Amino acid sequence: MTASLQLYGVQAPGLALSSRRLEFGTKGLNFSVTLTSSSGIFRTVEHSCRNIALRVSCEAARVDLLERKETEIRNLSGTGKELTCVMKFGGSSVASAERMKEIANLILSFPDERPVIVLSAMGKTTNKLLMAGEKAVTCGVTNVESIEELSFIKELHLRTAHELGVETTVIAKHLEGLHQLLKGIAMMKELTLRTRDYLVSFGECMSTRLFSAYLNKIGHKARQYDAFEIGFITTDDFTNADILEATYPAVSKTLLGDWSKEYAVPVVTGFLGKGWRSCAVTTLGRGGSDLTATTIGKALGLREIQVWKDVDGVLTCDPNIYSGAQAVPYLTFDEAAELAYFGAQVLHPLSMRPARDGDIPVRVKNSYNPSAPGTVITRSRDMSKAVLTSIVLKRNVTMLDIASTRMLGQYGFLAKVFTTFEDLGISVDVVATSEVSISLTLDPAKLWGRELIQRESELDHVVEELEKIAVVKLLQRRSIISLIGNVQKSSLILEKVFQVLRSNGVNVQMISQGASKVNISLIVNDEEAEQCVRALHSAFFETSS
């Protein structure tokens, strides 16, 4: 029997990987891999599993991280040609050829910047791809041609190529691949999460190819990268994967390595990664290109991360709820993270993590209005005058009231409640407790990721489990209103909040001030929530007192 061992190519400079022993045993493939550096054997990794490639690369990458900081970055700095920032453009910023041309001009209008460009899929392409996939499940192989969304995507990308004046060959293979994939889905009559991620990856793969080709056409040398080919290594949680540590050295090595050979603007697909076990394409959750951008910023130790949107920055509330929302000039990473986690669509919930770790400022700007100052997000800011910064709404939340059936003074109740959630893999958002009762909300993103039927039976199961130790009330269609601001001034904030809510006849069902010191959360009924946000906005941002 012959076996081959494929080692994933993100080894550290000066480190070599070699396979020592390779045999099939009762547990699968047994082998040992040795990492050697110029100073001798660094580590021997013994394994007995089916897919080791990425695990080994992680070991190597960790070493790489330490070495890279002193070597590669030092080699490039001082040349006056180092990459300076990340510029991420979302779907609305690259929705058409015209928009892409404007973005190219915008990039060129910053001659002192040498950016890494991160792009999302054009316009609403991701949604259209998902819809096409859903239709393919039931339409039959012979009808795939007539899926409206497939025609739309083909037409949009071909027209964009024509209007940009670039060869359609840059996306022809992807359009054909997309067509074949939809036929495959139609044949199998199923769309797994893994296939869903592969399906949506066509959006970013095509937008970056078109844009990079256009930059080259206008004489600005660019090079396209698929994130899953340059070391964006993630968990295998399809549709909601998380970036693994090994990503940083791997991405840095590829991008800085190529840049040092040729100064071509890197144009990287946002949103995508590669599962460390499956080696399949993964996605980072909707809006995940923001996370791609901050990951690159940290990996390369860049000066600034810019995320270009279709609004003037992070606003005082969702402009779809209240059009009078204003741009917030400064935020801390903690405020921005809380705001994103509690539902402000403007930033991906996890995107602040790499920026905070690398202490790299994030600037949120409007690609439709580049002269607007935008929002600058940094580690700290002057909070002396800050009261409320932004109001965020998360709708359709499930709330549980759990009251212990035991007497006061019983210990271990809270532990039992949280063990139940841990066992069921459900994450909790907002919590308020007394000694014998607890109210909490469940993270809708985690539940929304699952099919409706699975979600409902999961909730039934949660209640069933908790009823073994408590009386449980399941309350649905609730909203979390998060008040992001200076919680040192919580009495002032709450005084005003309750005045406003009382005069609007709204009863708050739960309140929580987390340890983060930047967020107070209120739970109200879904149908009252938008009215509350508008009234609070008016009280905090539109009156002088």
Ligand X SMILES: Nc1ncnc2c1ncn2[C@@H]1O[C@H](COP(=O)(O)OP(=O)(O)O)[C@@H](O)[C@H]1O
Phi and psi for 342 in degrees, rounded to 5?
A: -90, 20
Contact between 366 and ligand X (CB under 6 A)?
no
Residue closer to ligand X, measured from CB, 213 or 311 = 311
Site string for ligand X, 108-127 (x = CB under 6 A): ------------x-------
Q: How far is the CB of 313 from ligand X (least distance, A)?
A: 7
Residue closer to ligand X, measured from CB, 136 or 315 = 315
Which helix (H) or strand (E) covers residue 40, if one does?
Answer: strand 40-48
Contact between 308 and ligand PHD (CB under 6 A)?
no
261-290 burial, b at 16+ Cβ within 10 Å, e below that, comes to eeebbbbbbbbbbbbbebbbbbbbbbbbbb
Q: How far is the CB of 271 from ligand PHD (least distance, A)?
A: 4
Which helix (H) or strand (E) covers residue 219, if one does?
Answer: none
For 22-124, where are the alpha helices, taking DSSP H only? 53-70, 72-76, 97-108
Q: How far is the CB of 292 from ligand PHD (least distance, A)?
A: 8
Cα separation, 92 vs 369, whole angstroms: 13
Tokens of residue 496, six digits = 């005003």
From the list ligand PHD, ligand X, none, pick the one residue 318 interacts with, judged by a Cβ distance below 5 to 8 Å according to partner type: ligand X
Angle at 340 between CA 440 and CA 486, to 5 degrees: 80
Contact criterion met (CB below 8 Å) for 406 and 470: no
Applying CB under 6 A, among 115, 266, 275, 287 the residue interacting with ligand X is 287
Residue closer to ligand PHD, measured from CB, 295 or 486 = 295
Contact between 318 and ligand X (CB under 6 A)?
yes
Cα separation, 117 vs 374, whole angstroms: 19
Residue closer to ligand PHD, measured from CB, 95 or 300 = 95
Q: How far is the CB of 208 from ligand X (least distance, A)?
A: 15
Closest CA to 185 of 323, 193, 320: 193
Residue nearest to ligand X according to CB distances in the complex = 90
Contact between 11 and ligand PHD (CB under 6 A)?
no
From the list ligand X, ligand PHD, none, pick the one residue 121 interacts with, judged by a Cβ distance below 5 to 8 Å according to partner type: ligand PHD
Cα separation, 46 vs 29, whole angstroms: 11
Contact criterion met (CB below 8 Å) for 464 and 501: no
Contact between 390 and ligand X (CB under 6 A)?
yes
The DSSP code for 488 is G
* Amino acid sitting at position 237: D
Residues 6 or more apart whose Cβ sits within 8 Å of residue 102: 367
User: Where does this chain touch ligand X (CB under 6 A) — which range of 184-192, 344-352, 512-520, 537-545?
Assistant: 344-352
Contact between 315 and ligand X (CB under 6 A)?
yes
Q: How far is the CB of 45 from ligand PHD (least distance, A)?
A: 35
Applying CB under 6 A, among 52, 91, 97, 532 the residue interacting with ligand PHD is 91
Per CB under 6 A, residues contacting ligand PHD are 90-91, 120-121, 126, 203, 270-271, 286-289
Per CB under 6 A, residues contacting ligand X are 90-93, 120, 287, 309-311, 314-315, 317-320, 344-346, 390
